Structure 1
Amino acid sequence: MSVVGVDLGALNTVIAVARNRGVDVITNEVSNRATPTLVGYGPKSRYIGETAKNQEVSNLKNTVASFTRLAGRSLNDPDVLIEKDYCSASLVDIDGQVGAEVTYMGNKEKFTATQIVSTFLTKVKQTASAELKLPVSDVVLSVPVWFTDSQRRALLDAAEIAGLKCLRLINDTTATALGWGITKTDLPPPEEKPRRIVFVDIGHSNYTASIVEFKKGELAVKATAWDRHFGGRNIDKALVDHFAKEFKEKFKIDINENAKGRFRVLVGVEKLKKILSANSQAPLNIESVMNDVDVRSMLKREELEELIKPMLDRATVPIEQALAEAKLKIEDIDAIEMIGGSTRVPALKTAIQNFFGKPLSFTLNQDEAVARGCAFSCAILSPVFRVRDFSVHDQVNYPIEFTWEKSEDIPDEDTSLIVFNKGNVMPSTKILTFYRKHPFDLEAKYAKPDTLPGKTNPWIGRFSVKGVKEDAKGDFMICKLKARLNVHGVLNVESGYYVEETEVEEPIPEPPKEEGKEGDAMDVDSKDKDDKPKTRKVKKQQRKGDLPLSAGTAALDQAQKDKAAERENQMIMEDKLVADTEHMKNELESFIYELKDKIIGVYAEFANDDEKAKLNAKLETVEDWLYDDGDDASKAQYVSKMEEVRSVAGPIIQRYNDKIEEERQRVLKKQQEAHAAKQAEIERKKREEEAKKQAEAPPETKDTEMSDADAVKPDEVEEPAA
């Protein structure tokens, strides 16, 4: 099973996996470690990630960007109106949700932001599966800390539509803090003062500052503040507006009247901005920006800083807010960790460093820290991996209250209660108690709507409690509801039950006796064995049964998700058919050029003049068709044309292959004969060596045994006659 963490950024998405006793960031199909967060729609298929980026300038109106910031919002939200400056596709309302209207396969179609996110997540799933060579199911996705309940539910729905199981939606800076802390072995023990780190994340569109306390085996987020419209794209916009004014004066062109021209300038200023991060000045040269006009200019770093001065003036505001919420001073902070692409801007680094009066830390990978933290979180939540114990205590960023209708039987009853306060630990569970005689409803909403992003609807959900009735005595039923703010930051009323109060007797605890008091031992020893401990009657609640619940929230119902998943699978198959068709077309084209080359080369001696003429004629005919009517043919047509060519070239290719096989067999036979001769020579030399050793060995001497009877004694030897 795979364990995948995904940093779902507004500009780029980074995918990390837990493996080999660590975390690796994986590359996409073109070996990039970050994939553009873009989805485009074309006449035949969709373009996702890298392919969407490659055709963006030629397909601007059908390419959707910033969809992660659009999911779960409505079209009239002021933040969505701001996103129109950064998304070239037309944004529309789709049943109360914001979506995009594009031309797909020749037809005007509308897709909600949730559907577009699910489309992109299918690409993430394919990329991870291709790298791991395993099916991918469990993921942890990062989200900006300021996301509301409806935005979080939209991402969870998108993951489900894409066939992914999201184990956790984790806040960007919380993921970063986890990745930083889980590898540290020198964190203070629980009884000592915690180590306090400020994580500053300035990305493409968002600025977040979090203060996190670390102790051995745990982290706790103490405060978080943010600026939703502070990042690299705001710098880019300031530069584009500057050059638009300059080009209007110098070259008499208005790039604001030409979408493609403005986009070309945007691409140019992105590069210029990166050059200025390391150099004092940088050039801007763009060929044929619009109306066949080439433009060129030069910008100094000081000029850039003057252009973004309004941003620099508020560069430390989120940090100041976080410190105030955590009730901490600058001297209480042990380190400042900087992540996000925009933290490379020298002026921003200088402003933050001057605020703290101490050096900034860049020990984390600025582009990949969030994805690595997500992968660690996924490994902790997955049963497959054994990970060092590390607890993550995030916090509630918006206070949540419940409201309900007043009961007629309780005239002085309060009708609202803030259940989760800002700063409470998350995830957390609260038990709500109601005294009712009839079924009732309650609503959850954000207590302070003015703190929400844009004009987000503060409503979270409506929960109906069924099965409530008065008891046999006509008294209230005591209803208990379990409200939980889960690991995703999503609120649900998970269960309901009712209890009854019963009187039970319990022993009264004896007061502790004072040590050293005389007579203590005597009192114990003299206690009558028949004395019973004193008891008292107390009321205790006992659970008697469950209460059915029904909920209405911003999440899609199962039928809507099933319909969206079916549509997504249909589009995946259409994309695959287009890819297979393109592959078959390329194969046919390559086969034609290969045969044209070989028929006058290696195949020449295996075909007579008539066969060569016939094959060349067929190749010319198919090639003409391929670049005319066959330029936009079906896969079956390409396969048919391939078979036509093979039927003519087949006999020639077979003769060539037969000759090659014959030569191969001849070479193989020679190799076998040479091998056999070599083995025979080895055996012959071995026998000669053995014979030589035997010849050089000394003769063997044998000891013969003689019995006493056979032995000749001296006395028995006869003397010879004289």
Structure 2
Amino acid sequence: MSVVGVDLGALNTVIAVARNRGVDVITNEVSNRATPSLVGFGPKSRYLGEAAKNQEISNLKNTVSCFVRLAGRQLNDPDVQHEKNFVSAPLVDIDGQVGVEVNYLGKKEKFTATQITAAFLTKIKQTASNELKLPVSDVVLSVPVWFTDAQRRAILDASEIAGLKALRLINDTTATALGWGITKTDLPTAEEKPRRVMFVNIGHSNYTATVVEFRKGELTVKSTAWDRHFGGRYIDQALAEHFAKEFKEKYKIDVLENPKAKFRLMAGIEKLKKILSANTLANLNVESIMNDLDVRSVLKREEFEELIKPLLDRAHVPLEQALAEAKLQKEDIDAIEMIGGSTRVPALKTIIADFFGKPLSWTLNQDEAVARGCAFSCAIMSPVFRVRDFSIHDIVSYPIEFAWEKTEDIPDEDTSLTVFNRGNVLPSTKILTFYRKHNFDLEARYAKPELLPGKTNPFIGRFSVKGVQADAKGDFMICKLKARVNQHGILSVDSGYYVEEVEVEEPIPEPPKEEGKEGDAMDVDKKDEKPKMRKVKKQQRKGELPLSSGTAALDESTKQAAAERENQMIMEDKLVADTENQKNELESFIYELKDKIIGVYAEFASDEEKSKLNAKLETVEDWLYDEGEDASKAQYVSKYEEVRSIAGPIIQRYNDKIEEERQAVLKKQQEAAAAKQAEIERKKREEEAKKQEAEQKDTEMSDADNVKPDEVEEAS
């Protein structure tokens, strides 16, 4: 079983894996520890991750970014319209879901944000599999805490399409808290005051503040607050507007109207921003930004902070909201852990430190903490690893209510009820009771739509209960439904059943005895008396009620079709990659032979063979850079074999000569080794002979020393 944690970010994605020695963040094919969250489409294949980044500027309209924020949304959502500022590909509506229209394989195609996410997860799966040297299926994925039920379902659908089993969708700050707490050995016990930590995560497009209480072996999320439009990309946007205005006055160009110019400017701003994190002054230099113009500018840190002042002015808001919901004061927080790339901005650090009046903590890797927490979560659920027991108590982000139609039999019945309140522990299960004589439907929705991102539809799901009928007396059937918000943060109505009230007898509990009261001594005489009984009504489960549901999740046939389309595109990508490799192999073979036929192969080929081979190499090379520029894999293989058929005998003679020389050297080495061994054995035999001779002399001398006196006299 693979143990993989994925921090699925809007800008970059980080992959962590659990191994016997701990949790490691793995590198991708170009040895980067973070993979760009990009999917590109081209005339021959897709570009995923690093490949998409490399071709982004030349293929902006067909490269999709920020797809994680689009999944599970609708095109008319103001938040989605806001994303158009950051997504270069055109957004379209696809059967009620937001998607993109791109040029793929020479024609216009539409893909939903869920399909785009699935395509990227395919790349993540491949990267992890290459590192672990085994198939990857089980993962834990991080999502922003503000994601709705529909968005979470979209990420689960995407992972299924990509052939992954998401064991858990975990909120990013909860994953961070797990990674922080599971390694601590000094956490307070259940009887002691908990350790309270606020995790502040300011990334590319989100700002989240979460208060977590830690005790030995567990963490409990107390509150969380967020700003969905706060992060690195908004800082970049403010700087881009500043420089665009400057360049319009100075160079008479409008870089924001030119997509490629804007892209080049953003790349320069990213470098400038990093320099300003450690210096008070930074230069911006962008070559050939547009119209063959090179632009230059300088920005001081004070000017930078003034440009992002609207962001800085609201940096304290999520902190205050998180404290208020947790019913805590600033002084109740024991540590403030900072993660996310944007927490490197000095002004933000100062504002947050001043807010709490204490130093900030930087014990976690700002870019990798979420992925490491996801890997720990996956390891906890894996039977392969033994991990320290650590319980996670997360919370419901939005209040959820159920609504139903009023029945004529109960005219004064309420028609809605908030079942899960914001802040309820997650996962959480509630039993709903209905009195009905006929089948009925109920609808789940968010109780406070104003809290949702953008204009998200508050609808979560519709559930139909079948098999309901009046009992033999014509009374109501008592229907029980089990509603659950699972560990993914997704609502479901798991099961339905009906109960009947039956009368049963049970003993009447005796009142507690009072010490010292008269009559206690007589209680011993009552031990043989039968206990007094009473009849009570109790509910007994009698049967199941069939349920059908409709939610934002894709139905099985749609998922299956998307998975088949994804597999088809994977095969197309593989064929293009194999074709390119075969082309490169043919090109390398041509240049290698051209060099070696006048070098190491020269003495092994006749003049006629050299002439024939050179002519073939020239012909194939001309073909390769003309009509063979865009040939099929089979054509490259065929040309390779044509060259090989002529060069093969020459190469074989060379290899035979090399092998002959190798065998000769090997034989000499073996003979030398045998001679050396024989010499060693000869010396060993000589030493043993000398040793035996010395031992014999010692024995003779010993016998002479032991001659008796009478033997000496007789001899004389």
TM-score (norm 2): 0.97
Distance 1:174 1:232 in 2: 21
1:702 CA displacement: 12
**Cα distance per residue 1:656-695 (max 9 Å; x no partner):** 1111121122222222222232233333333333444455
Distance 1:689 1:312 in 2: 89
Q: 2:681 aligns with which of 675, 680, 683?
A: 683
User: Corresponding residue for 2:526?
Assistant: 527
1:160 aligns with 2:160: yes
Q: Which one-letter code corresponds to 1:338 in the other structure?
A: M
Q: Which one-letter code corresponds to 2:232 in the other structure?
A: G
User: Corresponding residue for 1:706?
Assistant: none
1:582 CA displacement: 0.7
Distance 2:690 2:400 in 1: 101
1:700 CA displacement: 4.9
Q: How do residues 298-377 of structure 1 correspond to structure 2 at under 5 angstroms?
A: 298-377=298-377
For 1:503, what is the secondary structure of its paired residue? strand
Distance 2:583 2:99 in 1: 35
1:274 CA displacement: 0.7
User: Corresponding residue for 1:618?
Assistant: 616
Distance 1:221 1:549 in 2: 33
Distance 1:249 1:460 in 2: 51
Distance 1:691 1:45 in 2: 79
Distance 1:539 1:472 in 2: 18
User: Corresponding residue for 1:139?
Assistant: 139
Distance 2:280 2:701 in 1: 102
**Cα distance per residue 1:1-60 (max 9 Å; x no partner):** 111111001100001111124211111111111000000001111101011111110000
**Cα distance per residue 1:431-469 (max 9 Å; x no partner):** 000111111100000011111100000000000000111
For 1:433, what is the secondary structure of its paired residue? strand
For 2:237, what is the secondary structure of its paired residue? helix
User: Corresponding residue for 2:707?
Assistant: none
Q: Which one-letter code corresponds to 1:564 in the other structure?
A: A
Cα distance, 1:546–1:694 mapped onto 2, change above 3 Å: closer
Distance 1:356 1:272 in 2: 29
User: Corresponding residue for 1:489?
Assistant: 489
Cα distance, 1:653–1:423 mapped onto 2, change above 3 Å: same
User: Corresponding residue for 2:200?
Assistant: 200
User: Corresponding residue for 2:221?
Assistant: 221
Cα distance, 1:451–1:683 mapped onto 2, change above 3 Å: closer
User: Corresponding residue for 2:597?
Assistant: 599
Distance 1:268 1:42 in 2: 26
1:51 aligns with 2:51: yes
Q: Which one-letter code corresponds to 2:568 in the other structure?
A: Q
User: Corresponding residue for 1:85?
Assistant: 85
For 2:278, what is the secondary structure of its paired residue? coil
User: Corresponding residue for 1:279?
Assistant: 279
User: Corresponding residue for 1:558?
Assistant: 556
1:631 aligns with 2:629: yes
User: Corresponding residue for 1:64?
Assistant: 64
Distance 1:243 1:464 in 2: 57
Distance 1:364 1:702 in 2: 80
Distance 1:142 1:382 in 2: 17
User: Corresponding residue for 1:40?
Assistant: 40
Q: 1:649 aligns with which of 644, 647, 650?
A: 647
Q: Which one-letter code corresponds to 1:541 in the other structure?
A: Q
1:576 aligns with 2:602: no
Distance 1:643 1:423 in 2: 68
For 1:263, what is the secondary structure of its paired residue? helix
Cα distance, 1:701–1:142 mapped onto 2, change above 3 Å: closer
Q: Which one-letter code corresponds to 1:232 in the other structure?
A: G
For 1:572, what is the secondary structure of its paired residue? helix
Q: Which has the larger radius of gyration?
A: 1
1:115 CA displacement: 0.2
For 1:269, what is the secondary structure of its paired residue? helix
User: Corresponding residue for 1:662?
Assistant: 660
Q: Which runs of 5+ in 2 are unaligned?
A: 704-710
Distance 1:250 1:702 in 2: 113
Cα distance, 1:617–1:395 mapped onto 2, change above 3 Å: same
Cα distance, 1:257–1:526 mapped onto 2, change above 3 Å: closer
User: Corresponding residue for 1:396?
Assistant: 396
User: Corresponding residue for 1:708?
Assistant: none
For 2:30, what is the secondary structure of its paired residue? coil
Distance 2:332 2:687 in 1: 88
**Cα distance per residue 1:521-576 (max 9 Å; x no partner):** x22222262x2100111001110111000000000000000000000000000000
User: Corresponding residue for 1:719?
Assistant: none
Cα distance, 1:667–1:305 mapped onto 2, change above 3 Å: same
Distance 1:641 1:353 in 2: 67
TM-score (norm 1): 0.96
Greater shift in the superposed pair: 511-520 or 32-41: 511-520
Distance 1:444 1:137 in 2: 32
**Cα distance per residue 1:620-642 (max 9 Å; x no partner):** 11111111111111111111011
Cα distance, 1:359–1:616 mapped onto 2, change above 3 Å: same
For 1:526, what is the secondary structure of its paired residue? helix
User: Corresponding residue for 1:537?
Assistant: 535
1:184 CA displacement: 1.0
The RMSD of aligned alpha carbons is 1.6
Identity over aligned residues, as a percent?
82
Distance 2:636 2:172 in 1: 48
For 1:536, what is the secondary structure of its paired residue? strand
1:343 CA displacement: 0.4
1:701 CA displacement: 9.1
User: Corresponding residue for 2:171?
Assistant: 171
Q: Which one-letter code corresponds to 2:437 in the other structure?
A: K
Distance 1:687 1:168 in 2: 73
User: Corresponding residue for 2:546?
Assistant: 548
Distance 1:507 1:48 in 2: 70
Q: Which one-letter code corresponds to 2:637 in the other structure?
A: V
User: Corresponding residue for 1:183?
Assistant: 183
User: Corresponding residue for 2:6?
Assistant: 6
For 2:464, what is the secondary structure of its paired residue? strand
Distance 1:643 1:344 in 2: 57
Q: Which one-letter code corresponds to 2:74 in the other structure?
A: S
Distance 1:682 1:188 in 2: 69
Q: How do residues 119-134 of structure 1 correspond to structure 2 at under 5 angstroms?
A: 119-134=119-134
Distance 2:47 2:702 in 1: 96
**Cα distance per residue 1:207-258 (max 9 Å; x no partner):** 0011111111111111111100000000000111111111111111111221
For 1:277, what is the secondary structure of its paired residue? helix
1:452 aligns with 2:452: yes
Distance 1:362 1:528 in 2: 69
Distance 2:121 2:451 in 1: 30
Would you say how many aligned residue pairs link Structure 1 and Structure 2?
705
Greater shift in the superposed pair: 67-76 or 623-632: 623-632
Q: Which one-letter code corresponds to 1:646 in the other structure?
A: R
Q: Which one-letter code corresponds to 1:244 in the other structure?
A: A
For 1:387, what is the secondary structure of its paired residue? coil
Q: Which one-letter code corresponds to 1:102 in the other structure?
A: V
